[in-house]
Chains A and B, each alone.
Chain A
Amino acid sequence: MKYFSFIFVLILTVALAWVISNPIGPVPPIAPLIDPYHGFWQNMYSEDELAESELILEGLTAPVQVVYDENLIPHIFAENDLDLYTAQGYITAKHRLWQMEFQTRAAAGRISEIVGDVALELDRMTRRKGLGYGAELGLEFLQKNDPETLSFLEAYANGVNQYINTLTPAQTPVEYKILNYKPETWTAYKSLLLLKYMSDMLVGDRDLEYSNLRKVLGEELLNKLYPDFPVENDPVIEAEKVWDFTPIEVQKPDSTNFPNDDLVIEPLPQPEKGTGSNNWAVSGSKTKNGNPILANDPHLSLNLPSLWYAIQLTTPAYSVKGASLPGALGVISGFNQNIAWGVTNATKDARDWYKITFQDDSRKAYKYGEAWRETTFRIEEIKIKGKEAYLDTVVYTHYGPVVYDKSFRAERQDVNFALKWTVHMGSNEQKTFLKLNKAKNHADYNEALDNFTAPAQNFVFASKSGDIAMRIQGKFALKWPEQGKFFMDGADPKMEWQGFIPNDQNPSTLNPERGFVASANQHPVDPSYPYYVFDNSYEHYRNRRINGKLRQMDQITVEDMKTLQFDDYYTQASEALPLMINLLGTVDSSDEKAQVYLKLLSDWDFYADPNQKAPTLYYIWWGKLYDQIWQEWEDFGVPVVKPNSFQTIQFLKNEPEGSVFDLGKTPSSETASTHVRKAFEMMLEEMKEWEEKEGDFTWANYKRTTIQHLVPQFKAFSVANVYTGGGGGIVNATSGRHGASWRMVVELADQPIAFGVYPGGQSGNPGSKYYGNFIPIWAEGKYLNFNLRNVDDSEGILFQTTLK
């Protein structure tokens, strides 16, 4: 009997221990998660409570001092670059390991390893676009051409890995505990992958949609509805700029045959609307103190842990501070003792699609001119949690990977399309930032930028010596007009890109007469620029607001620049709403709300401040109107893009009775006014519903700015309903899910005077008090002091660590 009861209890105990140590379906093992000494409870500590005054970091040539200011921003003081980047890797991993790892796994198409086959399609997409392939080429490029940068990347990896190796279960980031996996070794390759991933986030193309539109609408209507330049073009490089170089001639083929298939394949995911940025610099002649001032605010998805990690990196040679990307070396947007720089996305059709004609089903060869060229096969092994790995074969042509084929997103077609993209060309973006970090003047800045390929950026610059500059840098293909706007025939060698625009012919300007440079993702140049420039997504509002303000302003201070970054003026509304109210005419609606809303709209000053109600009304009304006007676009049955809002407003203004407003499918003839009235009715309906369900419709409450954890299902780790103004197309571009992911203002005085903030916090740990502590500051348009620190400054120190 006693044997029996012993064995019974023993089995019960072991079984209990086993059950809580193993995952049950999607539920992670409970014990390692809940054990208060190792589980998530240990992640409740904030970094200052775990401060260490000394840490061993192997591979350093001299001790490195890390000083944290009260916002947990590390200031790293090292004797040389190798030590500096080793320490940067270690410290960044200490605060952001899970995020770095997760983002690079996403970039490598390896999310299925963590979450199972729900992510398989996403992983296939990522891999078929060739991000990993691009990063491999990038690594090869470094091995051949730039062993120094490679050695820095390896030093960084060494730092990250030493942190991973000393990681205790207790301090392992909580996301690993919930998702039940472990960090893996960091490599130089992963840093490169991260930069490719940024390209992917920022670059889109609408070749598919334009190919369809060309077929549906015909060339003439297409050009009317989607002009290459808007009437009020206010480009990045001032329109007065004289191009003082002899352009390379681009030969347009005599005949261009675009593939004329009905393209019903699913388009690639595009960068989300609202992804964009502002940057500008004003010269000393326009500022109160006579020093140039530079400002930058990149707009991206608002995520936690934040994409950015603030840092100061110092060696005896230089001291740089600003926003870094966890996983990449150096500072990406920042300043040093001599210069400041910033980036905005310079969208310019960098991806083109070629239709591939395979010789036979084996896809071993494809037609090119009169001959057949051989393909190569790349087998992507996608590991899946809890399942067998998935093998995906991607065919590569000399253009690039065949993304769409019989096995992927093209059930109804046997067409194959290859993607040509600058990301697949060996390049060295990392070097640009390393050089910018140390740059002393305009020449250094130009030299740094020469290394930059993709994603093309508008690099703003200002120096203590008084220069301001802007340069649009990327590797831009030489294209004849309309090349790459539509899908092209890959069998026709005449369709090839004819080389690249030389770096010194990329649009740039230094100390323009108007006293400022600025970019906001708008058209890069005036039509006088000798090369073909096209993109679907150029900005039409923020640029005019910023340039308009900067033209007017004088005696500018840092405070003025902060105010401009947080400017809520809704330019689009200011142009569309008066037209809409006019076209609406008198409202005889019995709905008493109609009069109330109209009054709110008529009295509005066009500022989309968080406490305003009119922006909500306008936003809904405009949205309905836009959908009404272009409703037939939904009936085309193929993926298309609609004409942009700016163009639509032009039609409202210039030809309200015009044929663009008439719906072919109805016997009656519609005008702008018809749509405006209909949209108004629809707005009343939607508002009724909103007021019944939600009550308050002030702007902040309606747009509900949310800063979302990288795993959207972890809602509790997100910060929802942030009370802040702004919106898409507004200088303060904070919409529901996008906005200023980093704001920086620097005055290039003798000692730079700098301010910065981002919607997040230095810690990646949701349990830490430094996880989201900048959000309220950011939401109010306030900033943190970002001045450079010396190693012996004793004020405002949270704690210090010596690495040796």
Chain B
Amino acid sequence: MKFISLLILSVLIVVFINPIAPFWIIMILLGISSALVGAKGASSFLATGLGMGLAWLGQTIFLDFSTGSQLPYQMGEIMGLGSGMVLIAITGVLGFLLGGFSGMTGSYFRRLFKKKPENIYRG
């Protein structure tokens, strides 16, 4: 449940805030969200990573379809990647890594303040 909420939250943050803020603000926001939602480290990594990765990937694919511009293919050539598809993939992967690590950091941050669990079973 936490995973799904964090994933959706991440996508929303990227889609609505990234247009007006640079990527590093998004990273901080994803870290904070992840700390607030409180999923485990690995699960946070995956949720925020997929959130940002998919949102970035979605945006590039949307631009590709809606504008019909040749720019990704040209950029791919200039950057020596051969094709625009590679560039789309790279954008997605980069989004995934940036989002994922941000989320994981947030999750680990929350863990710092979590009460120690040893008393739970001793009543």
Contact = CB atoms under 8 A, between A and B. Distances in A.
Interface of A: 2-3, 5-6, 9-10, 12-13, 16-17, 20-21, 30-32, 34-38, 40-46, 49, 169-170, 174, 178, 713-717, 766-769
A717 B112 CA distance: 51
Contacts of A10: 105, 108-109
25 contacts: A2-B108, A3-B112, A6-B109, A9-B41, A9-B104, A10-B109, A13-B31, A13-B102, A13-B104, A17-B27, A31-B98, A37-B18, A40-B75, A41-B72, A41-B91, A43-B69, A44-B72, A45-B67, A46-B69, A49-B67, A178-B78, A716-B74, A767-B69, A767-B74, A769-B69
Contacts of A46: 67, 69
Contacts of A42: 63
B18 A767 contact: no
Most buried by A among B60, B98, B105: B105
Residue of A35, A42, A769 with highest tally of chain B CB at under 10 A:
A35
B71 interface: yes
Contact of B70 (A3, A6, A34, A767): A767
Given A41-B60, A766-B71, A6 B24 contact: no
Q: Which of A13, A21, A30, A768 has the most CB of B within 10 A?
A: A13
B23 to A, nearest CB: 5
B60 A36 contact: yes
A716 B59 contact: no
A732 B68 CA distance: 33
A12 B101 contact: yes
Nearest to A42: B63
Given A13-B27, A30-B94, A769-B69, A2 B112 contact: yes
B101 A9 contact: yes
B77 A715 contact: yes
Given A34-B94, A41-B63, A44-B72, A714 B101 contact: no
* Residue from A34, A46, A174, A715 with most neighbouring chain B CB atoms (10 Å): A34
A3 B113 CA distance: 10
Given A6-B108, A36-B91, A43 B71 contact: yes
Nearest to A17: B24
Nearest to B20: A37
Given A13-B27, A35-B56, 9 more contacts: A16-B97, A17-B27, A36-B18, A38-B22, A44-B67, A46-B69, A767-B74, A768-B69, A769-B68
A35 B70 contact: no
Pick from A10, A41, A43, A169 the residue with the most CB of B within 10 Å. Answer: A41
Please report whether the interface of chain A is mostly helix, strand, loop or mixed according to DSSP: helix
Main secondary structure of the interface of B (DSSP, over half): helix
B78 A715 contact: yes
A5 B63 CA distance: 38
Contacts of B24: 17, 21, 31
B52 to A, nearest CB: 11
B70 to A, nearest CB: 7
B25 to A, nearest CB: 11
Contacts of A178: 78
A9 B68 contact: no
B98 to A, nearest CB: 7
A715 B78 CA distance: 7
A35 B71 contact: no
Contacts of A16: 97-98, 101
B123 interface: no
A789 B112 CA distance: 69
Nearest to B24: A17
Contacts of B108: 2, 5-6, 9-10
Nearest to B87: A34
B90 interface: yes
A35 B22 contact: yes
Contacts of A21: 24
A37 B59 CA distance: 8
